[in-house]
């Protein structure tokens, strides 16, 4: 599942390709991917030009010359930018035909991804974007006490809270394990026991780990590659997620499920 570094990688690669291209037509092959009325979506998108590609948490925001297309890749969504009619399969659900004869295809084997047109005035004031929490890469100012108040209200394990996109945005299963290991915090610790100092450590390590992962174009694990043939390298730098032995103390790592998600940690280093 793409997390912040993988979505940022898609943004960086794709923006260069589609900038200033006009959408001359759109084909939608699987309607539930689109969160708007289909006719409304088409009316607002056809004839517009891609002006910028932004990101907020795990959302991509395609800025048009008027309005925006928000896209969430969820489990397996990917974009391909390729010459017209050079690719088609049953997993391609949305095709934007572009003014240079290319097409931008959205492929999603699991069909969990969502795409939505939003006008400018509602973009940041309505769901889903207004529900996205602190973005550790984009947000230079941090209201640490506000984040802390949200966390210590919760009894669930700290790992579960860090996966909540409305608090800190962009962390998913892989990077949360890495951040908690680096911060020496047990993923099962009840969120309400977290100390402010520990949150500061989590934020610092989150910024560092996500930035390094972006430099390495994200992590390529199992079936996921970001798009356009870009393969991330950060899997070579993971310290605990999918690993057997603690790189610090040598103890065999524990592998458990938290909220149904595979979790790797060291019982010795993360008390």
Which residue(s) pair with 261 in the sheet?
258
**Residues in contact with Zn ion, shown as a per-residue x/- string from 90 to 129 under the rule CB under 5 A:** ----------------------------------------
**Residues in contact with Zn ion, shown as a per-residue x/- string from 56 to 75 under the rule CB under 5 A:** --------------------
Query: How far apart are CB 250 and Zn ion at their closest, in Å?
Result: 7
Strands laid side by side in the 92-98 sheet: 23-28, 92-98, 102-107, 78-83
User: How many Å apart are CA 271 and CA 112, to the nearest integer?
Assistant: 36
* Closer residue to Zn ion (CB): 180 or 246: 246
Of 91, 93, 82, 53, whose CA–CA distance to 70 is shortest?
Answer: 53
Rounded to 5 degrees, φ, ψ at 41 are: -60, -50
Q: Which residue is nearest to Zn ion (CB)?
A: 246
Query: How far apart are CB 25 and Zn ion at their closest, in Å?
Result: 56
> Per the residue annotation, which of 11, 55, 58, 182 is the catalytic one?
58
Query: How far apart are CB 265 and Zn ion at their closest, in Å?
Result: 9
Active site annotation includes 58? yes
Helix axes 173-182, 196-215, angle to 10 degrees: 120
* Closer residue to Zn ion (CB): 171 or 246: 246
The answer to whether the beta carbons of residues 69 and 127 sit under 8 Å apart is no
Of 218, 220, 226, 219, whose CA–CA distance to 79 is shortest?
Answer: 226
Does 269 bind Zn ion (CB under 5 A)? Our answer is yes
Query: How far apart are CB 187 and Zn ion at their closest, in Å?
Result: 13
Active site annotation includes 261? yes
Of 94, 62, 65, whose CA–CA distance to 78 is shortest?
Answer: 94
Helix axes 196-215, 4-18, angle to 10 degrees: 40
218: its two tokens = 């994200």
- Residues 209-268 close enough to bind Zn ion by CB under 5 A: 246, 248-249, 251, 266, 268
Q: How many residues contact Zn ion, by CB under 5 A?
A: 7
* Closer residue to Zn ion (CB): 229 or 250: 250
Active site annotation includes 222? no
The answer to whether the beta carbons of residues 33 and 113 sit under 8 Å apart is yes
> Per the residue annotation, which of 3, 6, 8, 178 is the catalytic one?
3
H or E stretch including 198?
A: helix 196-215
Query: How far apart are CB 198 and Zn ion at their closest, in Å?
Result: 18
* Closer residue to Zn ion (CB): 158 or 269: 269
* Closer residue to Zn ion (CB): 230 or 248: 248
Enumerate the active-site residues: 2-3, 58, 261
- In the complex, the residues that contact Zn ion under the rule CB under 5 A are 246, 248-249, 251, 266, 268-269
């Amino acid at each position: 599942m793409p997390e912040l570094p993988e979505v940022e990688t898609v943004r960086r690669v794709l923006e260069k390709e589609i900038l200033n291209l006009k959408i001359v037509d759109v084909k939608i092959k699987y309607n539930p991917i689109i969160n708007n009325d289909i006719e409304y979506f088409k009316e607002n998108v056809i004839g517009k030009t891609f002006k910028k590609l932004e990101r907020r948490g795990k959302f991509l925001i395609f800025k048009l010359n008027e309005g925006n297309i928000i896209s969430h890749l969820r489990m397996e969504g990917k974009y391909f930018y390729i010459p017209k009619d050079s690719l088609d399969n049953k997993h391609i659900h949305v095709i934007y035909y572009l003014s240079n004869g290319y097409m931008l295809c959205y492929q999603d084997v699991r069909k969990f991804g969502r795409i939505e047109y939003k006008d400018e005035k509602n973009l940041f004031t309505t769901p889903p974007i207004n529900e996205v929490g602190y973005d550790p890469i984009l947000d230079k100012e941090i209201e640490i006490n506000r984040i802390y108040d949200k966390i210590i209200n919760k009894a669930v394990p700290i790992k579960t809270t860090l996966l909540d996109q409305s608090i800190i945005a962009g962390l998913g299963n892989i990077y949360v394990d890495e951040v908690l290991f680096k911060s020496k915090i047990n993923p099962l610790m009840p969120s309400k026991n977290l100390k402010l100092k520990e949150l500061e450590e989590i934020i610092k390590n989150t910024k560092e780990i996500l930035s390094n992962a972006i430099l390495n174009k994200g992590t390529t694990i199992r079936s996921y590659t970001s798009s356009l043939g870009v393969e991330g390298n950060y899997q070579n730098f993971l310290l605990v997620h999918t690993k057997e032995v603690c790189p610090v103390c040598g103890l065999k790592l524990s592998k458990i499920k938290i909220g149904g998600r595979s979790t790797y940690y060291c019982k010795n280093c993360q008390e």
